[in-house]
């Protein structure tokens, strides 16, 4: 039975065995290992015998090249050193390596894992407040200002966010679906891709978080921390806003929260509403495509229903030029 055919519980149990094997390479005494997220990738909370906590991320579905993973790690180190942002820091193994490459019997292929410092607090999630969104905007400004001057180390290379699918394998247009749905998908892609390509002629591309939703942000003692840079890529700053807005559109207070995010950021380069809405719509396409190539059981189960939702939202976008709110 392949990994994709296993139940969620079986997948987590087998990945936990991989986690225990990986953790033997680190200078810590493990007391407890438990899964805290099993989605695109899988993350385990690691408690040690002396009371320390860490987060171990196993790249289950992420197939980024090593140069992109090294770029993520290098940027996190630089952000932790150069700014006041609270971000996870990669923990070195006994041999000093920050990335563990290994053959996973669970996945039946080579994959990678990284052990990170633990971040306290609760995920913002769908209960994010305007105050927290202002803090998010402030954090985004710091990220973008740092990215504009930071020199990417030799041997590191972020993936390119110029394309809607950010170097992912594109399967959505070859997936069996009603002809009318496929027509909507293709029309939305062409529209978004045209607008996004022009954005890259107007603005300088810099490293982006590229996945700044509200389960990648924690809040503790009125301080924000930012994590999960696994999708970091080179793009234009407006893309980070569009990605965040995509998730805010699910909330009744979305307009006020979007404004709070912009207020926290401060001055933004001139952009049109059409450009912003295209980025938001592009996120819908990317997520639908990701679900179709995902091996995680719980996400696979959502794929077909999500294609229906994607058709509805993109049809509304094509008819109005605005990505719909909840």
The domain boundary residue, chosen from 82, 97, 121: 121
Same domain, residue pair 103 and 145: no
Q: Alpha-carbon distance 169 to 171, whole Å?
A: 6
Final residue of a domain: which of 121, 136, 156? 121
Rounded to whole angstroms, the Cα distance separating 100 from 113 reads: 5
What pLDDT, on a 0 to 100 scale, did the predictor assign at position 63? Answer: 77
Q: What is the CATH number of the domain that holds 153?
A: 3.90.1200.10
Alpha helices in the chain (DSSP H): 8-23, 66-82, 130-149, 179-202, 238-248, 254-265, 273-293, 297-300, 303-320
pLDDT in tens, the chain (326 residues): 899 899 999 999 999 999 999 999 999 999 999 999 998 899 999 999 999 999 999 999 887 899 999 999 999 999 999 999 999 999 999 999 999 999 999 999 999 999 999 999 999 998 899 999 999 999 999 999 999 999 999 999 999 999 999 988 999 999 999 999 999 999 999 999 999 999 999 999 999 999 999 999 999 999 999 999 999 999 999 999 999 999 999 888 899 999 999 999 998 778 899 999 999 999 999 999 999 988 787 778 888 899 999 999 999 999 999 999 97
Domain range for 35 = 3-121
Task: Identify whether 61 is part of a domain.
Answer: yes
> Are residues 246 and 214 both part of a single domain?
yes
Task: Give the CATH number of the domain where residue 53 resides.
Answer: 3.30.200.20
Specify whether 174 is located in the same domain as 269: yes
Domain count, the chain: 2
Beta strands 159-160; 233-235: pairing state: parallel
Q: Is 69 in the same domain as 218?
A: no
Burial class (CB in 10 A: 0-12, 13-18, 19+), 42: buried
């Amino acid at each position: 039975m392949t990994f994709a055919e296993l139940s969620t519980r079986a997948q987590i149990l087998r990945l936990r065995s991989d986690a225990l094997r990986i953790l033997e390479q680190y200078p810590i005494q493990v007391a407890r290992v438990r899964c805290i997220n099993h989605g695109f990738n899988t993350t385990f909370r690691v408690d040690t015998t002396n009371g320390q906590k860490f987060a171990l991320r196993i790249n289950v579905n992420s197939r980024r090249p090593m140069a992109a993973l090294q770029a993520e790690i290098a940027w996190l180190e630089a952000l932790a050193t150069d700014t006041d942002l609270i971000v996870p820091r990669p923990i070195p193994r006994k041999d000093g390596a920050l990335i563990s490459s290994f053959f996973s019997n669970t996945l039946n292929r080579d994959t990678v894992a990284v052990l990170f410092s633990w971040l306290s607090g609760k995920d913002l999630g769908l209960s994010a407040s305007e105050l927290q969104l202002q803090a998010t905007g402030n954090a985004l400004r710091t990220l973008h200002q740092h990215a504009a001057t930071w020199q990417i180390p030799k041997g590191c290379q972020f993936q390119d966010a110029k394309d809607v699918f950010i170097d992912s394998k594109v399967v959505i247009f070859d997936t069996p679906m009603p002809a009318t749905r496929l027509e909507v998908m293709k029309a939305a892609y062409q529209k978004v891709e045209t607008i996004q390509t022009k954005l890259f002629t107007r603005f300088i591309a810099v490293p982006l978080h590229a996945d700044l939703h509200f389960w990648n942000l924690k809040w503790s003692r009125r301080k924000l921390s930012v994590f999960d840079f696994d999708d970091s890529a080179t793009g234009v700053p407006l893309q980070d806003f569009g990605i965040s807005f995509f998730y805010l559109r699910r909330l009744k207070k979305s307009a006020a929260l979007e404004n709070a995010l912009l207020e926290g950021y401060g001055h933004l380069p001139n952009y049109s509403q059409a450009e912003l809405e295209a980025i938001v719509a592009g996120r819908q396409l990317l997520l639908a495509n990701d679900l179709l190539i995902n091996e995680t059981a719980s996400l696979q189960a959502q794929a077909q229903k999500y294609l229906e939702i994607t058709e509805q939202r993109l049809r509304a976008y094509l008819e109005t030029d605005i990505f719909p709110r909840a």
